[in-house]
Amino acid sequence: MTQANFDEMLLGPDQVRDPYKVYSEWFHSEDLKQLRRKSQDAEAFFRRIGITFNVYGQAEADERLIPFDIVPRIIAAREWARLERGIEQRVRAVNAFLHDIYHRQEILRAGRIPAEIIAGNEAFLPEMIGVNPPGGVYTHIVGVDLVRTGPDEFFVLEDNVRTPSGVSYMLENRETMLQMFPELFTQLNVRPVSAYPQKLRKSLCDTAPEGSPNSKPVLAVLTPGIHNSAYFEHAFLADQMGAELVESADLQVVDGRIAMRTTQGYQPIDVLYRRVDDEYLDPLTFNPDSLLGVPGIMDVYRAGNITLANAPGTGIADDKALYSYMPEIIEFYTGEQAILKNVPTWRCSEPEALSHVLANLKDLVVKEVHGSGGYGMLVGPAASKRELADFEKKLRAKPANYIAQPTLALSTVPILAKEGLAPRHVDLRPFVLVSPNRIDITPGGLTRVALKKGSLVVNSSQGGGTKDTWVLGD
């Protein structure tokens, strides 16, 4: 693993890497004050159209704007081609794993992963055992979080196969850049991302169950409601796809199908892109207190009369305890070595690993197995002695709740800072669409950037921002 930070733009003080050469020449011919004004214009644009996210438990701000940086991240065609191969391999393996784990469980019989990782996991849904999703697709929409440490070194940080978010920011970031810097798109062969909503619609409709009373598949997006942190995205995608945005009160079981209320009465739905977590999906099957789901929807699903995207129970595949077994999972189902590496991971549930983690806590990143959003984690090198001591107590009390990883030397890309261009750490979430006959990977994805100098935490809830990701054509 490379220890020095890899700069994606610069080889040296006056040497620009090939993907950035045209952009660098353009940037240095521009007026810095004018660029700063454009940066402010972008913020005003996002505020005007309402691209915000909610921060739970923060009294000072219910809704926040995700900071947007106007310097694009640029990826060469050759680099992207390798990423595509690795992502597709991983997504195929995840779908095969999910089918297996809810059917014959061959991977457990073969001893490739321990049975207790599945049996004792809250993300595993016994209600899905023996269920065949329409088209055999479990993970219709996937977000794979990647980090880079060198010219050809990419690592998968996380698999997001429950309800990956952020695609609306990818699309709006690109729209903003097209409006503000059209001349750059004439100089550079940047692959487009704007067809994502149409591809999403087609991909979802291709998984519609057979025997529908509708002449063509009817698609709806189920949102928990306006107070959800990703509500903007739910509404945005429904609008872009030409699908209805519905809440639980709009839906009910009618003649063995899920139907939505319309001005003409109840209309059966074929595909429900649900942004409601498993636990709240059906109060008759899961949490009886849920007001966000649809009573009886799991019975309709098990009968094969509706497609739920993503399928219930997919969360077992992006659980952080299972993450460390992904190389074995890929090899088991594809017969190939993983093209994209995992970050080395210590499972704190194992006594030997726990001893190593406790002895090296100040150098490691420790994450909750079920955590997300940058919460519940420790970044050892940035932690105080008090924080390290407090986290050590948590680890000793519930070691199985945590995994630990080395602090990677994440690559940097430039942002527009007061002094001009300044390097900041980034990750990347490409978005993947899975249908029965194809896997479609949008060229680019959401680049999240740690705007604070030296920070490795890119999450928007922890002060990170986003930038447009440009994949160059051949």
Q: Which residues contact 82 (CB under 8 A, 6 or more apart)?
A: 152, 154, 339
Whether the CB-CB separation of 52 and 65 falls below 8 Å is answered with: yes
Does the pLDDT at position 56 exceed 80? Answer: no
pLDDT band at 3 (very low <50, low <70, confident <90, very high): low
Does the pLDDT at position 371 exceed 80? Answer: no
- List the 251-254 sheet strands across, edge first: 251-254, 257-262, 265-268
Gap between the Cα atoms of 366 and 387, Å rounded: 12
Strands 446-449, 68-75: pairing is unpaired
pLDDT band at 150 (very low <50, low <70, confident <90, very high): very high
pLDDT at 185: 97
Gap between the Cα atoms of 16 and 34, Å rounded: 23
pLDDT band at 133 (very low <50, low <70, confident <90, very high): very high
CATH node for 344-406? 3.30.1490.270
pLDDT at 13: 81
If you write DSSP's letter for every residue of 71-103 in order, what string do you get?
EEEEE-HHHHHHHHHHHHHHHHHHHHHHHHHTT
pLDDT tens sequence across 413-472: 999 998 899 999 999 999 999 999 999 999 999 999 998 888 777 776 667 899 999 999
pLDDT at 46: 83
Does the pLDDT at position 278 exceed 90? Answer: yes
In the chain, list all ranges with CATH 3.30.1490.270: 344-406
Q: b/e map of 160-194 (b: 16 or more CB within 10 Å)?
A: bbbbbbbbbbbbbbbebbeebbeebeeebebbebe
Phi–psi pair at 77, nearest 5 degrees: -60, -40
pLDDT band at 2 (very low <50, low <70, confident <90, very high): very low
- Size of the chain in residues: 474
Lowest mean pLDDT among 130-144, 181-195, 316-330, 363-377: 363-377
pLDDT at 453: 87
**Which residue intervals of 112-230 are DSSP H helices?**
115-119, 167-180, 182-187, 196-205
pLDDT band at 319 (very low <50, low <70, confident <90, very high): confident
Does the pLDDT at position 64 exceed 90? Answer: no
Strands 153-160, 341-342: pairing is parallel
Gap between the Cα atoms of 131 and 437, Å rounded: 20
Mean pLDDT of 267-275: 97
Gap between the Cα atoms of 298 and 133, Å rounded: 12
If you write DSSP's letter for every residue of 113-130 in order, what string do you get?
S-HHHHHT-TT--GGGTT
Q: Which residues contact 383 (CB under 8 A, 6 or more apart)?
A: 362, 391
Lowest mean pLDDT among 54-68, 246-260, 294-308: 54-68
- Comparing 1 with 454, the larger pLDDT belongs to 454
Q: Which residues contact 94 (CB under 8 A, 6 or more apart)?
A: 138, 139, 142, 159, 161, 317, 329
If you write DSSP's letter for every residue of 313-334 in order, what string do you get?
TGGGGG-HHHHTTHHHHHHHHH
pLDDT at 412: 96
Mean pLDDT value across the chain: 92
